[in-house]
Amino acid sequence: MKLEEEIKQKEFKSEYNKAVVNLHFTQSYLITFQARLFKPHGVSPEQYNVLRILRGHHPEPITVSSIQERMLNKMSNASRLVEKLKQKGLAERKECPSDRRQVDITITSKGLDLLGQLDEEIKNFNHSIIKLDESEVKQLNDLLDKLRG
Amino acid sequence: MKLEEEIKQKEFKSEYNKAVVNLHFTQSYLITFQARLFKPHGVSPEQYNVLRILRGHHPEPITVSSIQERMLNKMSNASRLVEKLKQKGLAERKECPSDRRQVDITITSKGLDLLGQLDEEIKNFNHSIIKLDESEVKQLNDLLDKLRG
DNA sequence: AGACATTATATGTATATACATACATTTGGG
DNA sequence: CCCAAATGTATGTATATACATATAATGTCT
């Protein structure tokens, strides 16, 4: 549905103005459905994202600052998210021997199991939530990559 | 820059998977810069959005639930945002005479002044933050509108 | 009119973001 | 080697989101 109808706004001052609002609105649409998907599994979308980053490095550990770099929200707070995952038994924290300021984080087997369960579900979700065909999605990704310069 | 480089991920399982991540990442990119733009003026991005909704109806008042419908995050909390705006003298609250459950909200002249100051700044911001030409932005908006079905 | 559902708003709680700041450890210059 | 700067992590505070629930006012059915 056109954004103008969704938020009951007659028109936008420019396509650029509409695009900024459209990106916020579409992301909100996605995250609402994602949160509902993750909720029965006891993790939030950002916690899931950190788990995926951990799995990407498994069995090597990864430091908190490296997690931060790979997160979608750069200014967020990796250490608090790791703490949440640890409380749920999905991740482990260990002091880094070579630099005692750093903390090595690894995903646990429980964490890997959870991701394994979610993989198929997420794949189906991604296809069903995005009502575009293969070439359109590709086009969208290219435009977003270009948008950020 | 390609999303893969920005979040140091080698590849995505599908374009659909990438698109979901790309939308989150791009929105985060936008909101970070927007927040910095608004900060000197003492309002957050969502507070600004509510102010724009109020101006769109001025001089008519608008109820809290109508604000909610027009907000980007449908599940958010219009009444708390209105409270913040009231504390800053940017909006007023009045009991609706025809239905005492409802609350009529109007933007104050101070609120209109603030938006007036911001208008030009936002317009320039929207153009500079989106590094696409006119036809590409149009294409992006069409894809986003179609994506949500 | 009385009982009950519905609607409009407000509030409580958990999570996350954004930013400032604190603290310990490491690094590097003198 | 010692002190200052830089780095890695944690924490404090304000804001916002997501959802459940509370409360008052209104509408509806009999």
A143 with B146: Cβ contact below 8 A = no
Any atom of strand D under 7 A from CB of A27? no
Environment class of residue B95 by beta-carbon count within 10 Å: exposed (0-12), middle (13-18) or buried (19+)? exposed
Best to test chain A binding among B137, B138, B139 (most A CBs inside 10 Å): B137
Percent of all residues in chain A with a pLDDT value above 90, rounded to a whole number: 69
Q: Are the beta carbons of B2 and B87 closer than 8 angstroms?
A: no
Rounded to 5 degrees, φ, ψ at B65 are -70, -30
The rounded distance, in Å, linking the Cα atoms of B61 and B104 is: 5
Residue B149, pLDDT score: 85
Q: What average pLDDT does range B50-71 have in this prediction? A: 92
In what order do the strands lie in the sheet containing B103-107? B62-63, B103-107, B91-95
Partners of A2 on chain B (C-beta within 8 Å) are: 145
Among A122, A124, A114, residue whose Cα is nearest residue A85: A114
Q: Is the pLDDT of residue A85 over 70?
A: yes
Q: Is the pLDDT of residue B36 over 70?
A: yes
Any atom of strand D under 7 A from CB of B44? yes
Give the model's confidence band at A10: pLDDT under 50 very low, under 70 low, under 90 confident, else very high. confident
Residues 68-87 of A with CB under 8 A from B: 69-75
Percent of all residues in chain B with a pLDDT value above 90, rounded to a whole number: 67
The rounded distance, in Å, linking the Cα atoms of A108 and A90 is: 5
Residue A54, pLDDT score: 95
Question: Which helix (H) or strand (E) element contains residue B128?
Answer: helix B109-129
Rounded to 5 degrees, φ, ψ at A97 are -70, -35
Closest Cβ–Cβ partner in B74, B131, B138 for A149: B131
CA torsion, ordered A77, A83, A86, A88, to nearest 10 deg: -90
Residue A52, pLDDT score: 93
Sequence-ordered list of residues with C-beta below 8 angstroms from that of B122, at least 6 positions apart, any chain: A17, B37
Any atom of strand D under 7 A from CB of B100? yes
Q: Which domains does chain B have, with CATH numbers?
A: 1-41 (no CATH), 43-124 (1.10.10.10)
Read off the pLDDT of residues A62-84 as tens digits, 9 standing for 90 and up.
999 999 988 877 666 899 999 99
A130 with B56: Cβ contact below 8 A = no
Read off the pLDDT of residues A90-119 as tens digits, 9 standing for 90 and up.
999 999 989 999 999 999 999 999 999 998
The helix/strand count (H/E) of chain B reads as 7, 3
Residues 2-21 of B with CB under 8 A from A: 2-3, 6-9, 13-21
Neighbours of A105 (CB within 10 A): 25
Among B49, B57, B66, B46, residue whose Cα is nearest residue B106: B57
Q: Are the beta carbons of A31 and A73 closer than 8 angstroms?
A: no
Nearest C-alpha of chain A: how many angstroms from B128? 9
